[in-house]
């Protein structure tokens, strides 16, 4: 069983794919544009991405490059073009395999199994099942199961607190600007700083720390927020 992201703008192809994958006991999320796909993989650890090459917003090759810029998750390209030169380029750009449409459920399943086996055999990559948990010091965040533990103790987080923590845990030590938190975690293009501050203070309390004596969550005034293991 794998957690799969389907990136496909054609609603018919998309629902067929979702049906095939869920029938095979995989869990699936689906989006119709490359930008949505980038947002998804930045926030959730997938085992595999199935990427359609003909997306409305970005060229397939561009989309793959951008995906590769943020994640090592295995990518199977689904292409209507049986163009060998293009397929070779994509494999060189970091695709793990490809399927030429239309393909059968059996074919898809065989390719997926092979790709997942290869990735797992090579010791996994970030995002692969054995490596799902994000660890920052004594903090463990499991984006797949939406659970977080601090020093082995389960944290009771609201949805937003979890999203915020998981987002920061994916980039430990990196100062994330507030504006980025707002767009990536809250999915708003504008808003006031108070929204973030309030959630940060709740999250802080659950982590057993205060703004005056931070351990994991550090606010840099006027700059942003970072999550870092205590020294």
Q: Angle between the 105-121 and 11-23 helix axes, to the nearest 10 degrees?
A: 60
Q: Are the C-beta atoms of residues 144 and 121 closer than 8 Å to each other?
A: no
Residues 51 and 67: their CA atoms lie apart, in Å, by 10
CB closer to Ca ion, 78 vs 181: 78
Check binding of 36 to Ca ion (CB under 5 A).
no
- The site that binds Ca ion (CB under 5 A) totals a number of residues, namely 4
Map the footprint of Ca ion across residues 52-111, applying CB under 5 A. 52, 54
Specify the DSSP class assigned to residue 207. Answer: T
Residue nearest Ca ion, Cβ-based: 54
Tell me which stretch binds Ca ion (CB under 5 A): 4-12, 43-51, 91-99, 102-110: 4-12
CB closer to Ca ion, 9 vs 197: 9
CB closer to Ca ion, 79 vs 219: 79
Q: Are the C-beta atoms of residues 62 and 53 closer than 8 Å to each other?
A: no
CB closer to Ca ion, 87 vs 176: 87
Map the footprint of Ca ion across residues 157-176, applying CB under 5 A. none
Residue 5: partners with Cβ closer than 8 Å, 6 or more residues away: 28, 29, 30, 31, 37, 40, 41, 44, 46, 48, 49, 50, 73
Q: Interface with Ca ion by CB under 5 A: which residues?
A: 9-10, 52, 54
């Amino acid at each position: 069983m794998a957690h799969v992201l389907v990136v496909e703008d054609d609603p018919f192809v998309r629902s067929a794919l979702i049906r095939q994958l869920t029938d095979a006991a995989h869990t699936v999320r689906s989006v119709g544009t490359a930008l949505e796909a980038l947002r998804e993989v930045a926030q959730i650890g997938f085992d595999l991405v199935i990427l359609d090459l003909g997306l409305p917003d970005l060229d397939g090759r561009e989309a793959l490059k951008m995906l590769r810029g943020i994640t090592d998750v295995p990518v199977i390209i689904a292409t209507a073009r049986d163009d060998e030169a293009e397929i070779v380029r994509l494999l060189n750009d970091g695709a793990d395999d490809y399927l030429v449409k239309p393909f059968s459920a059996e074919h898809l399943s065989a390719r997926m199994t092979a790709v997942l086996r290869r990735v797992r055999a090579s010791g996994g990559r970030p995002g692969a099942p054995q490596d799902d948990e994000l660890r920052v010091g004594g903090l463990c965040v499991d984006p797949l199961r939406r659970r977080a533990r601090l020093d082995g103790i389960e944290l009771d987080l609201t949805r937003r607190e979890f999203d915020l923590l998981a987002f920061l845990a994916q980039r430990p030590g990196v100062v994330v600007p507030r504006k980025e938190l707002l767009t990536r975690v809250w999915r708003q293009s504008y808003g006031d700083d108070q929204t973030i501050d309030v959630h940060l203070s709740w999250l802080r309390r659950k982590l057993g720390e205060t703004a005056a004596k931070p351990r994991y969550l550090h606010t840099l005034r006027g700059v942003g927020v970072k999550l870092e293991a205590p020294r």
